Amino acid sequence: MKMNRRTFLKTTGAVATASALPISLIKVALGAKNPTQDFTFAYISDAHIEQIEGSKFVRNWDMGLIRAVQEANLLTPRPDFFFFGGDLAQLGKKEELDHGLEMISKLRGEVHYVMGEHDYYLDLGKYWESKISPLWYSFDHKGVHFIVLTSILTYDEWTYHKWATPMDRMLAMARLDNPEGSPFLVGEKQRGWLKKDLEKVNKSTPIILCSHSPLQKIYKGWNFWTDDAESVQTLLKPFDKVTVIYGHVHQIQYNQVGNIGFHAVMATAWPWPYPQSYAQAASHLPKLTVPMNRADPFFERDATGWQFINVRTGNVEMEYQLPDNENRSVAFNPKTGSPQDSRYQNVNKRIPPQNHY
């Protein structure tokens, strides 16, 4: 069954659907032969809950997550489950993770968690693992194989031997453009696990892999980057239908590498500009059609958003719902073999970027 946005909206009884909120409702449609297996899941990411002191937390980040949870609870059809895509905390503190979990606990349904670097580098994932979720795991749902990786590890030398205190390490990794940072890594141990996990999976089974950092190389200066991305991609290569969904970048990104479609989800906290528009200099990003302009500071949700994702015969059709902006649609173009923005792909229709701040 072809599910474009219009038919999706039609079948949902027009309640709480055409929305613009910082969560991602993802529609997995498995084709005409198996319509009963269609399902949706919702994706919330990058909340960055930040403790000021004691029970005081940064209000804006709180409100972003509270709103996403509330709206997700108003979605229909009900998503089968939820994902939280990482960076629940800002500085990995127990208080931040607990406060974030308290808000997420209001979600009506099961939640799967992906670990972000802001959750990890204080205690190296100990509290997360004991209280929230394993760092890497897989599960099957209605014919789709889901994999969660912790892609924000890095080289041992940096992690274990560089910093006087855990908080020094955390603060170094929390900074976007820190020259003292270190590129993200899935690492050998996890890749070994992934290889084994994939051995059990039929090559025609659709795979959805969720990581926090992009498993593709976008911009090293900001760690929009995973150093062993190619090795992970190689493991995924034999499969017919692979989609990688990642957070971390707080912006719309899409790309196709061979059989793998890549899609970023939006943040509930704040948007990042595209590195290119920030640096004002050429960089070698995947093709970006519309540089992201500065968000309107009044509108908390400006430059955040969510999208319907329709995974059909391995190709993704995205409908971005963007508050205070034009909604956008990104669909796979079989002629070029990659996703394309339906409105802005044409050079003449692009919005000129803002180049002063």
Place of tokens 């946005």: 5
- The least CB distance from residue 208 to another protein, in Å, is 24
**Binds another protein by CB under 8 A, chosen from 1, 2, 7, 15:** 15
- The least CB distance from residue 69 to another protein, in Å, is 8
Contact 136, 120 (CB under 8 A): no
Range in contact with another protein (rule: CB under 8 A) among 17-25, 31-39, 129-137, 214-222: 17-25
In our burial notation (b when 16+ CB lie closer than 10 A, e otherwise), range 223-252 reads bbbbbbbebbbebbeebebbbbbbbbbbbb
- Each residue 57-96 as x (binds another protein by CB under 8 A) or -, in order, gives --xx--x--xx-xxx-xxxx-x------------------
**Closest CA relative to residue 27, chosen from 356, 306, 343:** 306
**Binds another protein by CB under 8 A, chosen from 1, 14, 32, 351:** 14
- The least CB distance from residue 71 to another protein, in Å, is 5
Adjacent-strand bridge partners of 338: 333
Count of residues engaged in binding another protein, rule: CB under 8 A? 27
Strand boundaries in the chain, DSSP class E: 23-28, 39-44, 51-53, 56-57, 81-84, 111-113, 137-141, 144-148, 207-211, 242-246, 254-257, 260-264, 306-312, 315-321, 328-333, 338-341
Which residue, 53 or 157, is less far from another protein as judged by CB?
Answer: 53
Does 326 interact with another protein (rule: CB under 8 A)?
A: no
**Binds another protein by CB under 8 A, chosen from 206, 291, 323, 339:** 323
- Each residue 275-314 as x (binds another protein by CB under 8 A) or -, in order, gives -----------------------xxxx-------------
Structure tokens at 238: 């034999």
**Binds another protein by CB under 8 A, chosen from 18, 32, 176, 351:** 18
Q: Which of residues 199-218 bind another protein (CB under 8 A)?
A: none
Strands lying side by side in the sheet with 242-246: 137-141, 144-148, 207-211, 242-246, 260-264, 254-257
Q: Establish how many alpha carbons lie within 13 A of residue 298's alpha carbon, considering only the half-sphere containing its beta carbon.
A: 1
**Binds another protein by CB under 8 A, chosen from 17, 45, 213, 253:** 17
Residue ranges that bind another protein, judged by CB under 8 A: 13-21, 59-60, 63, 66-67, 69-71, 73-76, 78, 298-301, 323
